Amino acid sequence: MPKPLSADELAALGDELAALARAGVPLDQGLLALRSELPGRAGFAAEEIGQRLAAGERWSDVVGEGQFPPMFAAVLEAGIRSSELGPAIEAYVATLRRTSELRKRLSIALLYPVLLLCLAYGLTLFIGLSWLPDLTSSYAESELETLPVLDSVSHWIVATRWFWAPLPPLLLLLGLGWWLLQLSGPALPRSRFALGVSVVRQGRAAIFADLLALLLERETDLPTALPLAAQASGDAQLQAGASKLVASLEQGSPVGETPELPPLIGWLLRSHAPEQQMVAALRRLSGQYHRRAIQRTEWLAHALPTWLAIGLGGGAAMLLASAVFGSWASVIYELARPHFFNAG
């Protein structure tokens, strides 16, 4: 099975599809001609779609495979059904662009904290494996006593260096690999730390609201549109809430509370508002969630490095100060002891 297209590749392919649809060019011929213009896998995907369309296959069969997300196929079908393929694809590409922008902002916001953590790790290696052992050994050769806690910390760091020293780089490499893998998809990456959860949650709510409005605007019924938009958002809670709503709609039972969905979206879907009003409200909510995500990403980019610098820098300064001045005080005390007892 071909590897799924990334968000940028989907956006590039969608731009060309929308341009072909607006120009009235036969899509199979236009897509075959795009092979030399689109770079990478997007060009191969365009060529494959063109060949299969020219062979008489249906759109739903061509784009319903693993290389394309289900939302992409749903948008194409909705656009063809409403005879507005170009505007439908353009709206979907706009959502992909906004998602990509938010993803890049979040990645940039996390770059500086990662650099600070690397610097703190390097400083810890230097202090624990080089500076502290040299300091304690020089005191031992001079027959001077050092602080007991300094000896304990130095011995523990040296004894366990084979465990803790390679662990942070390994975790960092695994985290970066996972993050890059998440960035290649059309949805926002999953985040488990408290500051990132808020940003990702707001971003996914924006994607869900935007794509749901797009499908409803293209005459897709709500039970079909809900799971598609939730799946495209990449959020498990949104998918659970959408499934609960779909089950209630299909059974004809009253729609209960849906804590898995954002409160305003849940209230809107339970209100049974006219379709045009629901689409307009979903558009406004999408813009609101997107602005919140950007604002919190910018706050994350400024506040997190500051607090890390204070915490890591302050901790390193206290460690160095306690090691230097504590040892210096211990040396002065040891040097003064013979004079003190002789004077007595």
Whether residue 296 is found in the same domain as residue 316: yes
Is 189 within the bounds of a domain?
no
12 found inside a domain:
yes
pLDDT in tens, 188-207: 444 444 445 677 788 788 88
CATH code assigned at 32: 1.20.81.30
Contact 276, 186 (CB under 8 A): no
Q: What is the pTM of this model?
A: 0.61
Do residues 161 and 128 lie in contact, with contact meaning Cβ atoms separated by under 8 Å?
Answer: yes
Nearest to 13 by CA among 75, 78, 56: 75
DSSP 273: -
Query: Residues 19, 149: one domain?
Result: no
Going by C-alpha positions, the residue among 59, 108, 21, 71 that lies closest to residue 238 is 71
> Residues 301-323: pLDDT tens digits?
777 677 777 776 677 677 667 66
Percent of the chain exceeding pLDDT 90 equals 2
Q: How many helices (H) and strands (E) does the chain have?
A: 15, 0
Q: How many domains does the chain have?
A: 2
Q: Mean per-residue pLDDT for 263-267? A: 87
Residue 131 within any structural domain of the chain? yes
21 domain-assigned: yes
Domain check: are 50 and 169 in the same one? no
Range with top average pLDDT, 154-158, 161-165, 209-213, 324-328: 209-213
* DSSP structural state of residue 272: T
End-to-end CA distance of the chain: 89
In this structure, which amino acid lies at residue 330?
Answer: S
pLDDT band at 1 (very low <50, low <70, confident <90, very high): low
- For residue 271, is pLDDT > 60? yes
Does residue 17 register a pLDDT over 80?
yes
Q: What percent of the chain has pLDDT over 70?
A: 77
Residue 12 domain boundaries: 7-96
Domain-ending residue, one of 96, 121, 145: 96
Are 315 and 252 members of one domain?
A: yes
Same domain, 242 and 289: yes
Q: 154 and 290: one domain?
A: yes
Q: What is the DSSP string of 142-206?
A: TT----HHHHHHHHHHHHTHHHHSSHHHHHHHHHHHHHHHHHTSSSPPP--SHHHHHHHHHHHHH
- pLDDT at residue 281 above 90? yes
Same domain? 323 vs 255: yes
Indicate if the pLDDT at residue 42 is higher than 70: yes
Contact yes or no for 233/211 (Cβ under 8 A): yes
Same domain, 135 and 281: yes
What pLDDT, in 10s, does the model give residues 104-121? 777 777 777 777 777 777
Does 320 lie in the same domain as 199? yes
Helix (H) or strand (E) holding 253, with range, is none
Range in 245-259, 264-278, 300-314 with the lowest mean pLDDT? 300-314
Residue 280 banded pLDDT, cuts 50, 70, 90: very high
Confidence of residue 67 (pLDDT cuts 50, 70, 90): confident
How far lies 175's CA from each of 48, 170, 296, 337, in Å?
A: 35, 9, 22, 53
- Of the residues 68, 96, 124, which one is the last residue of a structural domain? 96
- What mean pLDDT is predicted for residues 268-288? 88
Same domain, 90 and 27: yes
Write down the pLDDT at residue 284.
93
Please tell me whether residues 247 and 311 are part of one structural domain: yes
State mean pLDDT over 118-142. Answer: 73
Residue 336 maps to a domain? no
- CA dist 227 and 289 (Å) reads 20
Interval 172-199 mean pLDDT: 57
Answer whether residue 344 is part of any domain.
no
Answer yes or no: is 58 within a domain. yes
Give the domain-ending residue among 67, 96, 125.
96
Residue 1 included in any domain: no
Q: Does one domain contain both 67 and 114?
A: no
Q: Which residues contact 275 (CB under 8 A, 6 or more apart)?
A: 216
CA–CA separation, 224 vs 221, rounded Å? 6
